[in-house]
Chains A and B, each alone.
Chain A
Amino acid sequence: MKKTFSNRYIFIYSAVLVVVAALILTVVAVSLKPAQEKNQQAETKQMILKTIGIDATRDNAAELYAQNIQEADLKGEPYFTFKGGVIIPLRGTGLWGPIWGYLAFDDGGTVVGAVFDHKGETPGLGGEISTDKFAQRFVGKEMCEEPIRLKKNADKDNPYEVDAISGGTMTSNGVTAMLATAYEKYSDVIPCHEDCEAISALMMEEEEQ
């Protein structure tokens, strides 16, 4: 025999169910929040340290960060400096959600390290931007005159081109747009090799005199 339920029962049942579910989730979310935030902050510091070749664990990230990184800002936009260069933050959108990263330049304007991450790009396709293999493609490039672009079959010798991800075109376009935005914002602090050449030329002249 099939049981019948009154409308009253259905309303009360669904109200109680939703309140119970909401209570459980609220309690869990509030009680776990400190641990989650600690993880996120440590991760940001780990990412920044990684661009200058320091592999920090989640535990010693805060300490190494304090030793190696100075925070700075350019007209209200935060960036970072380390001994021998600057690190700029990147913020943008991929295919499914936010993507972000950090790009470290040495004083000569050459990229010494990069790191990218994403909220929800497709694993194995766009999600590949968070791998070391992808980040490694940026090393040796520069953003002196224009932003770095992601391209299919990029020219390895062109300092402004990086190989895009096969199967991750939309995410790759997102990375390109993110780099362009960062270039606009931070072009004043991104070091440039031409400046270096100009400075060294000046120094040479001084020496000759």
Chain B
Amino acid sequence: MKNTDLIKLPFSKNNPILVQVLGVCSCLAVTAQLKPAVVMAVSVTVVVALSNLIISLMRNTIPPRIRIIVQLVVVSTLVVLVDQVLKAYMYDVSKQLSVFVGLIITNCIVMGRLEAFAMVQKPWPSLLDGLGNGLGYSVILIVLGFVRELFGSGTLWGYPVVEKLGLYNIGYENNGLMIMPPMALILVGLIIWWHRSRNKDLVEQ
């Protein structure tokens, strides 16, 4: 596989959420609003890329029988480290992030990429693979956050868009279902439908 494909494919035919169906849990939990969705997207991208790199550097020394434990130690160390630094120097961001720490450690994308890629590939491609998958995840999160906040709360990044447009005065109402997790699942389902109809080779027989 070419290095550019490592970045490009997670956006289309190998998207972690749409095709690998990984990381769905957190994508339902944090996309009720745009801002936490973006913070989560950035944090996961950083953690996937770095843990991919570190595990790839260690891959020849890791005994296969305890590889999952080793991966978890690396991932959680990384996440706690990032959290501690943010708490000290970027307190406001850390307040947004702290709730996601647990979710990042258990994010299937991180474990999935470590198992499927970093354990058997060289460091540079592993870093690119981590970045690509992190960004592929980010795109879906941001789309969901955008749609759910706009139609569920009538705001974007906390800015009251719908109110400013004056739509409430002509009888528009926010869709309460949008801010509930089930609606995120329905939206992901719709995106997968659209995605498969454009990429026929992904459709299972």
Contacts and interface: CB of A to CB of B under 8 A. Distances in A.
B205 interface: no
A36 B99 contact: no
Contacts of B64: 2, 5
Interface stretch (B25-33, B123-131, B132-140, B192-200): B25-33
Given A35-B89, A39-B91, A43-B91, A122 B84 contact: no
A24 B84 CA distance: 12
Contacts of A10: 63, 65-66
Nearest to B58: A17
Interface stretch (A25-33, A104-112, A140-148, A196-204): A25-33
Given A25-B80, A35-B88, A36-B87, A124 B63 contact: no
Given A43-B91, A58-B91, 14 more contacts: A10-B65, A13-B66, A13-B70, A14-B70, A24-B77, A28-B84, A32-B85, A32-B88, A39-B88, A119-B98, A123-B33, A123-B36, A127-B36, A166-B179
Contacts of B149: 124
A125 interface: yes
Interface residues of B, number: 34
A36 B179 contact: no
Interface in B46-99: 60-66, 69-70, 73-74, 77, 80-81, 84-85, 87-89, 91, 96, 98-99
Please tell me the size bucket of the interface on A: 20 to 34
Interface string A108-137: 000000000001111111010000000000
Overall SS of chain A's interface: helix
A127 B180 contact: no
B176 interface: yes
Interface of B: 29-33, 36, 60-66, 69-70, 73-74, 77, 80-81, 84-85, 87-89, 91, 96, 98-99, 149, 153, 176, 179-180
Contacts of A122: 29, 32, 99
A13 B61 CA distance: 9
Nearest to A3: B60
B69 A14 contact: yes
Interface string A57-79: 01000000000000000000000
Interface of A: 2-3, 5, 9-10, 13-14, 17-18, 21, 24-25, 28-29, 32, 35-36, 39, 43, 58, 96, 119-125, 127, 166-167
Contacts of A2: 64
A120 B88 CA distance: 18
B30 to A, nearest CB: 6
A9 B64 CA distance: 12
A18 to B, nearest CB: 7
A166 B174 CA distance: 12
A18 B73 contact: yes
Nearest to B62: A13
A58 B95 CA distance: 14
